[in-house]
């Protein structure tokens, strides 16, 4: 069973250990889901398996959730989700399939949420206020990277966390808080699944069930469409094109500010003093030093980046910190007929859970969105094939689109945000925002160097612009 699971998970999009030497050292079943099987239509027994992956020589390990649908006979319809066949100590000879690909299996989760099942193995929590549709068929989403999501018709969406850690998952925690405040900018939480911890230990949260946003369009896709519209209209400015995104960026800024205010009300806040700001700058410098080793093209900008980080240490006012999104970009937003919705509050996936729930400055989220808007403009630019003169024109228009939409997002944010005085960003907040943008761009260079070398010019160009802007402000 271990070898079959090891082979299977290394082929998935959500396995985070690709490229590293690894081995499966343990498989533990934490619960089962089953239903009475009609004679003419066998139902599976679902085993919720936790697979421990160790990385030899590093002392590191990860735990992945792999729910398996077990059948006594082979299921040709599930061949694409086949994991393996073996002798199970509880079930006998079985054929195992990834359960999230199997409608007969996923219906068992939905039934358990309706019943609010709670026992020593599994506890299905419900947030009251919505009646679930038990007749809805499930559809597994194919595009996700770190988790797996299953839609039940147009009624609800279940997100199954693939990499799991004991403790409260921030995605569940924040969605529950914002649902109870009736926030307009998140999908309502309907429930979540967890395994109780032994004694006083924290639970292991495995999945969440939430509102399905049936009219939603991905924010990243909408931004790219707007940029393409601009490039197709060679004689028009960004605010003159039919696909202008400026008003959407403004509304997204408003939604972000309102969500930050709601989070500040729902969770404790604190303040960073100068010692905390020095620690923040030190962490940014450490990430830069490590990035220069991976991306030598960063070296000419390193001194300017260090100056941006050093400016954070000169902030004398205390800085309010609170719960934030932590991994905010256009891909974490959905545009619906009822406005913008923000999704995936898990934080940066690579960070340990203990770090992802720590208070941080809301300006980190703002910086993430500003970088994402810049990325949208230049990602389309990278795909346009034109001559040298045309390249200069496209570069100008990319910068115009990015600047317009970044300004509109910031204007919308400060219009409602409780973090600015009279809708004005203070000089200290500008310093913090610049540092977060630079830190994010440094991260992006490492990502692109390892995954999409042809796109590395996007974050490098942003770093050059940030360094030039910081130098001009210093001179003035």
The domains located in the chain, with CATH, are 2-211 (no CATH), 217-324+359-475 (3.90.1200.10)
Q: Can you give the pLDDT at residue 33?
A: 96
Instruction: Choose among 253, 267, 156, 224: nearest CA to 383.
Output: 224
Residue 4 burial (CB < 10 Å; 0-12/13-18/19+)?
Answer: middle
Asked if residue 84 has pLDDT above 70, the reply is yes
pLDDT attached to residue 233:
73
Higher-pLDDT residue of 419 and 414 is 414
pLDDT band with cut points at 50, 70 and 90 for residue 367: very high
Residue 112 in contact with residue 123, Cβ under 8 Å?
no
- Mean confidence (pLDDT) of the chain: 91
Q: Is the pLDDT of residue 384 over 90?
A: no
- The reported pLDDT for the residue numbered 352 is 84
Residue whose tokens read 């309102």: 258
Determine the pLDDT at residue 146. 84
Band (244; pLDDT cuts 50, 70, 90) = confident
* Interval 31-67: pLDDT, tens: 999 976 554 567 899 999 999 999 999 889 999 999 9
DSSP-derived 3-state class of residue 358: coil
Residue 171 has a CB neighbour count (10 Å cut-off) of 22
Positive/negative CA dihedral, 225, 228, 234, 239: positive
Q: How confident is the model at residue 469 (pLDDT cuts 50, 70, 90)?
A: confident
Q: Is the pLDDT of residue 133 over 90?
A: yes
DSSP one-letter code for 455: G
Is the distance from CB of 138 to CB of 151 less than 8 angstroms?
yes
Tokens of 279: 């620690």
Partners of 65 in the β-ladder: 50
pLDDT at 35: 79
- Tell me how crowded residue 274 is: count the other CB atoms within 10 A of its CB: 15
- Is the CB of residue 309 less than 8 Å from the CB of residue 435? yes
State how far the Cα of 184 lies from the Cα of 340, in Å rounded to an integer: 8
- Beta-carbon contacts of residue 423 (< 8 Å; ≥ 6 apart): 414, 415
pLDDT band at 435 (very low <50, low <70, confident <90, very high): very high
Contact yes or no for 45/70 (Cβ under 8 A): yes
Judged against a pLDDT cut of 90, whether residue 343 lies above it is answered with yes
Check whether 240 has a pLDDT greater than 60. Answer: yes
User: pLDDT > 90: what percent of the chain?
Assistant: 76
> Is residue 369 over pLDDT 70?
yes
Using alpha carbons only, give the angle 98, 103, 107 rounded to the nearest 5 degrees. Answer: 105
DSSP for 154-183, please give it.
TTEEEEEESB--SB--HHHHHHHHHHHTT-
> Are 27 and 1 spatial neighbours (Cβ–Cβ below 8 Å)?
yes
pTM, full prediction: 0.89
Residues 6+ apart with CB under 8 A from 208: 158, 159, 161, 169, 171, 172, 175, 189, 191, 192, 193
| Section 429-456 average pLDDT | 94
* 476 — pLDDT class (breaks 50, 70, 90): low
Task: Quote the pLDDT of residue 331.
Answer: 94
Residue 387: its pLDDT value, please? 65
Residue that has been written with the tokens 């085993």 in this structure: 47
pLDDT digits (tens, 9 = 90+) for 274-307: 999 999 999 999 999 999 999 999 999 999 999 9
pLDDT at 393: 79
Dump pLDDT digits (tens) for 250-280: 999 999 999 999 999 999 999 999 999 999 9
Contacts of 384 (CB under 8 A, 6+ apart): 231, 390, 391, 394
């Amino acid at each position: 069973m271990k070898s079959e699971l090891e082979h299977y998970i290394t082929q998935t999009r959500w396995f985070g250990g690709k490229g590293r030497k690894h081995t499966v050292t343990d498989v533990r079943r934490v619960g089962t889901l089953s239903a009475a099987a009609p004679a003419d239509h066998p139902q599976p027994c679902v085993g919720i398996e936790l697979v421990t992956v160790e990385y030899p020589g590093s002392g590191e390990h990860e735990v992945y959730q792999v729910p398996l649908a077990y059948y006594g006979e082979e299921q040709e319809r599930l061949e694409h989700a086949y994991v393996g066949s073996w002798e199970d100590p509880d079930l006998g000879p079985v054929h195992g399939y990834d359960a999230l690909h199997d409608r007969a299996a996923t219906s068992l989760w939905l039934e358990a949420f309706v019943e609010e099942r709670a026992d020593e193995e599994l506890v299905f929590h419900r947030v009251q206020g919505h009646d679930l549709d038990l007749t809805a068929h499930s559809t597994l989403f194919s595009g996700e990277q770190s988790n797996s999501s299953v839609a039940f018709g147009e009624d609800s969406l279940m997100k199954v966390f693939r990499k799991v850690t004991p403790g409260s998952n921030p995605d569940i925690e924040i969605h529950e808080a914002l649902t109870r405040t009736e926030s307009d900018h998140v999908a309502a939480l309907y429930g979540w699944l967890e395994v109780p911890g032994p004694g006083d230990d924290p639970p292991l949260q495995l999945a969440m069930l939430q509102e399905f946003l049936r009219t939603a369009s991905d924010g990243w896709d909408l931004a790219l469409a707007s940029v393409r519209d601009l490039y197709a209209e060679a004689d028009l400015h960004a605010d003159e094109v039919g696909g202008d995104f400026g008003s959407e960026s403004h509304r997204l800024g408003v939604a972000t500010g309102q969500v930050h205010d709601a989070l500040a009300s729902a969770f404790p806040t604190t303040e960073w003093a100068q010692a905390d700001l020095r620690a923040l700058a030190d962490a940014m410098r450490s990430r830069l030093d490590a990035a220069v080793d991976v991306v030598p093209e960063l070296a000419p900008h390193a001194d300017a980046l260090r100056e941006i980080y050093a400016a954070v240490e000169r902030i004398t006012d205390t800085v309010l910190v609170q719960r934030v999104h932590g991994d905010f970009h256009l891909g974490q937003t959905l545009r619906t007929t009822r406005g913008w919705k923000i999704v995936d509050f898990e934080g940066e996936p690579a960070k340990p859970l203990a770090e992802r729930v720590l208070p941080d400055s809301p300006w980190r989220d703002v910086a993430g969105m500003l970088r994402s808007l810049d990325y949208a403009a230049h990602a389309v630019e990278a795909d346009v094939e034109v001559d040298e003169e045309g390249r200069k024109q496209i570069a100008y228009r990319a910068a115009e689109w990015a600047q317009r939409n970044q300004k509109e997002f910031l204007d919308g944010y400060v219009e409602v945000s409780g973090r600015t005085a009279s809708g004005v960003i203070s000089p200290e907040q500008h310093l913090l925002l610049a540092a977060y943008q630079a830190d994010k761009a440094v991260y992006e260079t490492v990502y692109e160097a390892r995954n999409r070398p042809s796109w590395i010019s996007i974050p490098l160009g942003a770093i050059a612009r940030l360094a030039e802007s910081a130098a001009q402000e210093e001179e003035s």
